[in-house]
Amino acid sequence: MPRDNSVKTISIRLLLALLVIITLGTIGFLELENLSLVDSLYMTIITITTTGFGEVKPLSPLGRMFTIILMFLGIGVFFYAITQIFPVLVERRIRGRRRLIKNLKNHVIVCGYGSVGTEVVREISKDKKNKNIVIIDKDPEKISLARENDYLAIQGDVTSEEVLDKANIRKANFLITCVEDSSSAFCIMTAREFNSNIYAIAIARETSNINNLKRSGANQVLSPYHNIATKVDILLNNPVSSDIAEVIGELGGNHYFEKARVNEEIAGTTIRELSLREKTNTSIIAIGRNDDIKRPDPDMELKKDDQLFLMGSEKEVEKAINILAK
């Protein structure tokens, strides 16, 4: 039977098959065991359903053979029903998801549902504005997990035009790639062909690939591993600065962190006079001095060899470091 038959058609055919089996079984017990109509029907029902209730009376050898055949017929119809109806129901569900995705607009597409992708989806789904999220991953187990968590998910290669088209990339607002850097780059370039206005965010696996991802068309490249390295470095060199490290861990995201040492030329200048925030939009979130961490105050005078913990975008922090190095 073709699997594209409707559930209704399959159900009618299965019902007819059951009626035929019940009729044959009832007639068989009537003729072979001389049972009443009710007892014959009862024996037929408990046999094909393998219920296991007691027999109305001890059966003859021929009656037992007939019962075995009837039992296998009942089991056969049951498994036949599963093999026919289940694929149809699955296909219906898949088509339903496809229709939902096709009708989406201004949604978020997340490529990769690994450890990073899972956390990204969990966080952005907290915002009601991001309720429409489509996940793409080539791993069927991860796709199953995403669907178990009530997310729309598509199995496939994130660099495939067909897969991105299925995710309705043309009407999406955001694309977040949490896959290998090379796949992220190809994914973003492919996405740009469908939707030049999409805002693409790439999660870089290697800091050396940040510029390549930007050249591929990413509006924003995040490097969690750089922030982790900075956090570890802070803890190693300043064990008492765990609170600052925690700030870095919590902020993460679009923020870029770096340390800079105060030289002789800047020493004696106050934070207000330095005007680092006004010049570069970079914030000094803490100052390391003599194995101690101090909170920055606008009128605090900087001393030689103070460590400034800087926060901003990568370009902003880089600009601030250049100013401090003069």
Q: Which of 39, 72, 101 is a domain's end point?
A: 101
Gap between the Cα atoms of 256 and 264, Å rounded: 26
Task: State the residue range of the domain holding 285.
Answer: 224-325
- In this structure, the answer to whether residues 22 and 76 fall within a common structural domain is yes
Model-wide pTM > 0.75: no
DSSP symbol at 105: -
Q: Give the domain CATH number at 267.
A: 3.30.70.1450
Same domain, 45 and 134: no
From the number of C-beta atoms within 10 Å of its C-beta (0-12, 13-18, 19+), residue 173 rates as: middle
Instruction: Note down pLDDT in tens along the chain; length 326 residues.
Output: 444 456 677 778 888 888 888 999 899 888 888 888 998 888 888 888 877 677 778 888 888 898 889 888 888 888 887 777 777 666 766 676 677 778 888 899 999 998 889 988 988 888 766 568 999 999 999 998 998 888 889 999 999 999 999 999 999 999 999 999 999 999 999 999 999 999 999 998 887 888 899 999 999 888 776 555 555 555 455 444 445 555 555 444 456 677 888 888 888 899 889 888 889 888 888 888 887 777 788 889 999 888 888 888 778 888 888 888 87
Number of domains in the chain: 3
- Looking up tokens 């694309």, which residue turns up? 175
pLDDT at 89: 67
Residue 276 and residue 193 share a domain: no
Are residue 120 and residue 199 in the same domain, yes or no? yes
> Residue 27 falls within a domain, yes or no?
yes
Are 28 and 63 contained in the same domain? yes
Strands across the sheet containing 283-289: 256-261, 307-312, 283-289, 292-294
Q: Has residue 2 been placed in a domain?
A: no
Do 109 and 210 sit in the same domain of this protein? Answer: yes
Same domain, 200 and 130: yes
Residue 155 DSSP SS3: strand
Indicate the helix (H) or strand (E) that contains 259: strand 256-261
Are both 130 and 218 inside the same structural domain?
A: yes
- Together in a domain, 58 and 118: no
Rounded to whole angstroms, the Cα distance separating 203 from 35 reads 75
- How far apart CA 43 and CA 49 sit, in angstroms, is 10
Does 63 lie in the same domain as 44? yes
Please tell me whether residues 178 and 263 are part of one structural domain.
no
